[in-house]
């Protein structure tokens, strides 16, 4: 049985049906006028061969083409793109089945940060009263390493609300190169979690090695098709409206292999997209439709997710502001657009602008986590551990986020209002009103251990102090101490024999037996 | 035979089962004798009341307290067990004197005049009964004179006064003054509780103790019972 996710019975919608249609029409018009700049010759050729108006751009340093995509190509692509996409997992019980017209939400990690945030709790002594000591969290950012990626995958394996794993941190060890990064990051993830693994690709020449690794784990190419334990993300369209040369190439190669892929666009309202909601929505929708269209032209029926990472610019720095309210609004709009096309949506919530866990982080991420979840995206990424506008990952924050999602999932349980319940409670009411104390406390007990009552916030401390971070850190250490189901020794040995570039230190079975 | 019954009483107190209709925590207990039925059986079998109290009730409440400390039990569990002990004590009350068992004390509880809130007072009552005290509950919105009359008639060792409102907590002070005017103040220890009151307020109106919550209230009364003049 695949993972259940959480089904949203009445999804939150911001756009009326007419507004959805208007965005679609505006996007179709933009795809034709002005169209897109395409820095990939092969992609331009594919569009041209299928009836798009393609013209070389003169005077450009890099060869590029102007592509005007007609509506019919988009319509055909939307018809052929699968409406249900399954993301497999090493443990088949962790598979994710995403239906474009069903608002069932799965919570996923991601994205890929350069920085990893270490946490320590040194003890400080009060200068005026040396008897008083307190432990204060201190955060130290540093470059991410492959050991951190293993650590993160391991902990996320045990975080109950994490449904799938996008590699969280860019591995920057000295012995990691462009040619071995992909195999090592995929192996680090796959060996430490039995959940679905998604990642971008650094080097196209590593694609076949990564796919072969997944085939060895699943038992061959057909088994991988049945149970696609890996999938890919590509930002093939750079905003505004440009097919990037190398990522478009990667995208087309993944599509040819028929593995699931996210067509992701991340415009920033104010800089790379209009600041007005209508503008960024028409543009991001056009960009995603352009990518989906190319994917279906390359390999009709290839499984794609409608990927949306829209964000508003900060007015003080013109950097990304994931914590802004508008960012959540754009994401909810995108969920509606994907649902309009009946395609599974890859959406974004939970990233905060602040650099460390704390009050601002909790407020920003909980706000977006709640409202975007309520809109019913199928694949909600960035939801764990991301700080500083998507550039820092912190496992302690991921543990805190897990508690947030447990709360959200509880809130979204269906109401238990039915005749059987009324029969029970009417009996209770009649009994209690005739007792001297008139209290229902005795009836709490049968439901207290049945999961019907929401648990207390898990990091609530004693007394008046706020010990959330310290308690979450204790939980983090408990999760680190739990074992994880690694790839079995024989399969791991075969992977290390047949896949070049893997770091020997990642083989946890080395030295066994 | 007597050991079996006492063991069953202990088990059912831990399960918080007052009567045979209660479910308890473990599956399939509904329908089996609860504490009420078992105490009746024990008394009919002439099992010593002091053995029932010491080996059945007190021992089981120690287990319940430990489970609460370990966060295995929550307050509804504690209350259910305390209610079971309270029911047992009520059934055994006529036998206590002849058995030489002295009750821990008698307590009058009341929510003061003008205040209809009684959840806190009721919880404290259950916990006190579970701890072996005889509790006389005067109810809520109780006239000050009625409290004075009850003290004169029942001769309790303690009075527990409750209020939830800032507008009614002043009636606690009026009650203490009325007891003084009637020459009854020195006969009883007065404990107050409720959201708007505090240790400082208790001291300012001349009360003997303040219970921050139900468990604290019981601990304060136990402390005062032991002869300590300072509340914990």
Quick one: three-class SS letters along chain B? CHHHHHHHHHHHHHHCCCCCCCCCCCCCCCCCCCHHHHHHHHHHCCCCHHHHHHHHHHHHHHHHHHHHHCCCCCHHHHHHHHHHHHHHHHHHHHHHHHHCCCCCCEEEEEEECCCCCCHHHHHHHHHHHHCCCEEEECCCCECHHHHHHHHHHHCCCEEEEECCCCCCCHHHHHHHHHHHHCCCHHHCEEEEECCCCCHHHHHHHCCCEEECCHHHHHHHHHHHHCCCCCCC
Q: Say yes or no: B30 contacts chain A, CB-CB below 8 A.
A: no
- pLDDT bucket at A489, cuts 50 / 70 / 90: very high
CA dihedral (A22, A23, A24, A28) positive or negative: positive
| C-alpha to C-alpha distance for B9 and B59, rounded to whole angstroms | 10
Q: What is the bridge-based pairing of β-strands A6-7 and A104-107?
A: antiparallel
Return the percentage of chain B with pLDDT > 90, whole number: 69
Q: A445 and B122 in contact by Cβ < 8 A?
A: no
Q: What is the mean pLDDT of residues A140-147?
A: 97
A267-289 pLDDT, tens digit per residue, is 999 999 999 999 999 999 999 99
Q: Report whether the peptide linkage leading into residue A111 is cis, meaning its omega lies within 30 degrees of zero.
A: yes
| CA distance linking residue A169 with residue A156, whole number of Å | 13
The C-alpha atoms of residue A360 and residue A470 are separated, in whole angstroms, by 17
**How high does pLDDT run on average in chain A?**
95
Q: Which residues contact A365 (CB under 8 A, 6 or more apart)?
A: A323, A349, A350, A351, A352, A401, A404
Kindly state the tokens that stand for A231.
């999938």
* Interface confidence (ipTM) of the complex: 0.77
* A7 at B interface, C-beta within 8 A: no
Residue recorded with tokens 């056009």:
A286
Give the pair of three-digit tokens for residue A37: 């700049």
Question: Residue A286: what pLDDT?
Answer: 98
Digit-coded pLDDT (tens) for B128-175:
988 889 999 999 999 999 999 999 999 999 999 999 999 999 999 999
Give the model's pLDDT for residue B132: 86
Report the residue of chain A nearest B18, measured CA to CA.
A442
- The whole-angstrom distance between B130's CA and the closest CA on chain A is 15
CB contact under 8 Å between B74 and A448, yes or no, is yes
Whether residues B122 and A439 touch (CB distance < 8 A) is answered with yes
Closest-CA distance, B121 to chain A, in angstroms, reads 10
Mean pLDDT for A58-87 is 96
Angle at B75 between CA B73 and CA B79, to 5 degrees: 105
Domain boundaries, chain A: 6-16+79-411, 419-448
Among A299-303, A393-397, A509-513, name the one with the lowest average pLDDT: A509-513
Whether residue A439 and residue B23 make contact (CB cut-off 8 A), yes or no, is no
Residue A138 contacts residue A120 (beta carbons within 8 Å): yes
Instruction: Name chain A contacts of B118, Cβ cutoff 8 Å.
Output: 437
Q: Is the pLDDT of residue A512 over 80?
A: no
Q: Which helix (H) or strand (E) holds A54?
A: strand A53-56
Interface residue A445 vs chain B (CB under 8 A): yes
Q: Which residue has the higher pLDDT, B102 or A414?
A: A414
In this predicted structure, what is the pLDDT of residue B119? Answer: 86
Nearest to B119 among A439, A444, A446 (CB): A439
The angle, 0 to 180 degrees and rounded to 10, between the axes of the packed helices A41-49 and A277-298 is 80
Distance separating alpha carbons of residues B9 and A272, to the nearest angstrom: 74
B-interface mutation test, from A428, A442, A454, A471, most B Cβ less than 10 A away = A442
Q: What is the structure's pLDDT at A442?
A: 81
Q: How confident is the model at residue B229 (pLDDT cuts 50, 70, 90)?
A: low
A43 touches A243 (CB < 8 A): yes
Residues 6+ apart with CB under 8 A from A488: none
Q: pLDDT tens digits for A166-187?
A: 999 999 999 999 999 999 999 9
The SS3 call for residue A68 is: strand
Cβ atoms B61, B85 nearer than 8 A:
yes
Residue A428 touches partner B, C-beta closer than 8 Å: no
3-state SS class at A39: coil
CB B23 within 8 A of CB B52: no
Q: What is the CATH number of domain A6-16+79-411?
A: 3.20.20.480
With b meaning 16 or more CB within 10 Å and e meaning fewer, what string describes A305-314? Answer: bbbbbbbbbb
Taking CB atoms and an 8 Å limit, are B80 and A436 in contact across chains? no
Name the closest residue on chain A to residue B75, using Cα atoms.
Answer: A441
pLDDT score at A398:
97
Q: What angle do CA B73, B27, B37 make, to 5 degrees?
A: 85
Residue B230: pLDDT above 70? no
Q: How many CA atoms lie within 13 A of A392 on its CB side?
A: 20
Q: How is residue A102 written in tokens?
A: 């069903």
Of the given ranges (A185-194, A303-312, A429-438), which has the lowest mean pLDDT?
A429-438
Residues of A in contact with B22 (CB under 8 A): 442
**d(C-alpha A416, C-alpha A423), whole Å:** 12
Query: How far is residue B179 from each of residues A438, B157, B168, B205, measured CA to CA in Å?
Result: 30, 14, 18, 13
Q: Tokens 């930002």 sit at which residue?
A: A235
Q: Which of B27, B35, B74 to mutate to test the interface with A (most CBs of A within 10 A)?
A: B74
For chain B, say whether A424 makes contact (Cβ under 8 Å). Answer: no
Tell if the CB–CB gap between B80 and A441 is shorter than 8 Å: yes
CA B115 to chain centre: 21
Task: List A263's β-bridge partners, or say none.
Answer: A234, A306
Average of per-residue pLDDT across B23-42:
92
Helix (H, G, I), strand (E, B) or coil at A366: helix
Q: What is the pTM of this model?
A: 0.88
Cα separation values, B43 from A488, B22, B39, B51, B95, Å: 64, 21, 6, 11, 9
Nearest-CB residue to B25 (from A436, A437, A445): A445
Q: Is A174 on the interface with B (CB under 8 A)?
A: no
What's the rounded mean pLDDT across residues A492-496? 98
Q: Decide if A44 contacts A135 (C-beta within 8 A).
A: no
User: Which residues, 6 or more positions from A479, have their beta carbon under 8 angstroms from its beta carbon?
Assistant: A154, A155, A158, A159, A399
Please give the residue that has the higher pLDDT: either A199 or B24. A199
Query: In the prediction, which pLDDT does A513 show?
Result: 55
Residue numbers of B between 118 and 147 with CB closer than 8 Å to A: 118-119, 122-123, 125-126, 137
Q: Mind listing the pLDDT tens digit for each residue in A445-454? A: 888 888 899 9
pLDDT, tens digit, for every residue of A343-376?
Answer: 999 999 998 999 999 999 999 999 999 999 999 9
| Closest A-chain CA to B118 | A437
């Amino acid at each position: 049985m695949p993972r259940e996710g959480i089904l949203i019975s009445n999804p939150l919608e911001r756009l009326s049906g007419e507004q959805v249609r208007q965005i679609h029409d505006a996007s179709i018009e933009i795809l034709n006028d002005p169209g897109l700049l395409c820095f990939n010759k092969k992609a331009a050729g594919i569009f041209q061969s299928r009836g798009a108006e393609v013209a070389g751009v003169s005077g450009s340093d890099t060869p590029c083409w102007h592509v005007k995509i007609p509506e019919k190509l988009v319509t055909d692509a939307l018809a052929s793109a699968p409406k249900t996409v399954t993301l497999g997992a090493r443990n088949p019980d962790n598979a994710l089945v995403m239906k474009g017209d069903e608002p069932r939400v799965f919570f996923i990690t991601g994205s890929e940060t350069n920085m990893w945030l270490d946490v320590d709790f040194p003890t400080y002594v009060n200068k005026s009263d040396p008897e008083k000591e307190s432990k204060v969290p201190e955060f130290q950012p540093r470059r991410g390493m492959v050991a951190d990626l293993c650590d993160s995958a391991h902990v996320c394996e045990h975080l109950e609300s994490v449904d799938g794993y996008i590699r969280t941190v860019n591995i920057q060890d000295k012995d990691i190169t462009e040619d071995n990064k992909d195999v090592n990051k995929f192996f680090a993830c796959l060996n430490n979690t039995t959940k679905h693994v998604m990642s971008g690709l650094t080097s196209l020449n590593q694609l076949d090695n990564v796919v072969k690794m997944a085939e060895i784990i699943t038992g061959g190419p057909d088994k991988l098709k049945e149970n696609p334990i890996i999938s890919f993300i590509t930002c093939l369209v750079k905003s505004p409206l440009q097919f990037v040369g190398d990522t478009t190439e990667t995208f087309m190669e993944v599509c040819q292999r028929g593995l699931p892929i996210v067509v992701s666009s991340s415009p920033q309202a104010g800089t790379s997209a209009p600041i007005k909601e209508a503008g960024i929505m028409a543009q991001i929708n056009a960009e995603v439709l352009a990518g989906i269209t190319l994917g279906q032209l390359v390999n009709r029926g290839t499984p794609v997710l409608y990927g949306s990472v829209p964000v508003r610019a900060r007015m003080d720095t013109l950097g990304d502001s994931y914590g802004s309210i508008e960012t959540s609004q754009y994401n909810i709009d995108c969920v509606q657009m994907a649902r309009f096309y009946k395609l599974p949506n890859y959406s974004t919530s939970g990233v905060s602008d602040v650099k460390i866990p704390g009050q601002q982080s909790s407020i920003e991420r909980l706000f977006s986590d709640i409202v975007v979840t309520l809109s019913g995206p199928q694949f909600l990424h960035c939801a764990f551990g991301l700080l500083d506008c998507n550039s820092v990952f912190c496992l302690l924050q991921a543990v805190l986020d897990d508690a947030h999602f447990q709360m959200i999932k509880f809130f979204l349980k269906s109401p238990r209002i039915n005749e059987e319940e009324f029969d029970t409670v009417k009996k209770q009411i009649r009994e209690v009103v005739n007792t001297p104390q008139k209290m229902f406390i005795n009836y709490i007990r049968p439901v207290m251990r049945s999961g019907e009552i929401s648990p207390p916030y898990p990091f609530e401390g004693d007394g008046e102090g706020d010990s959330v971070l310290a308690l979450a850190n204790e939980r983090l250490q408990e999760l680190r101490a739990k074992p994880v189901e690694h790839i079995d020794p024989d399969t791991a040995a075969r992977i290390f024999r047949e896949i070049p570039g893997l770091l020997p230190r990642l083989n946890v079975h080395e030295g066994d037996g | 035979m007597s050991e079996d019954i006492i063991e069953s009483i202990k088990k059912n107190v831990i399960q918080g089962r007052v009567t045979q209709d209660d479910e308890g925590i473990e599956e399939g207990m509904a329908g089996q004798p609860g504490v009420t039925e078992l105490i009746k059986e024990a008394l009919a079998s002439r099992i010593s009341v002091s053995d029932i109290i010491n080996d059945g009730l007190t021992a089981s409440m120690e287990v319940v307290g430990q489970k609460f400390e370990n966060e295995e039990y929550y307050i509804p569990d504690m209350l259910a067990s305390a209610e079971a002990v309270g029911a047992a004590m009520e059934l055994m009350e006529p036998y206590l004197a002849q058995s030489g068992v002295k009750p821990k004390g008698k307590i009058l509880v009341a929510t003061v005049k003008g205040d209809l809130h009684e959840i806190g007072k009721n919880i404290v009552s259950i916990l006190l009964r579970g701890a072996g005290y005889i509790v006389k509950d005067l109810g809520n919105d109780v006239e000050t004179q009625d409290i004075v009359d009850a003290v004169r008639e029942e001769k309790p060792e303690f009075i527990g006064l409750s209020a939830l409102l800032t507008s009614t907590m002043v009636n606690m002070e009026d009650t203490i003054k009325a007891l003084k005017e009637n020459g009854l103040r020195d006969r009883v220890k007065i404990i107050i509780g409720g959201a708007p009151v505090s240790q400082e307020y208790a001291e300012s109106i001349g009360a003997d103790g303040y219970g921050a919550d139900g468990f604290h209230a019981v601990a304060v009364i136990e402390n005062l019972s032991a002869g300590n003049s300072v509340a914990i």
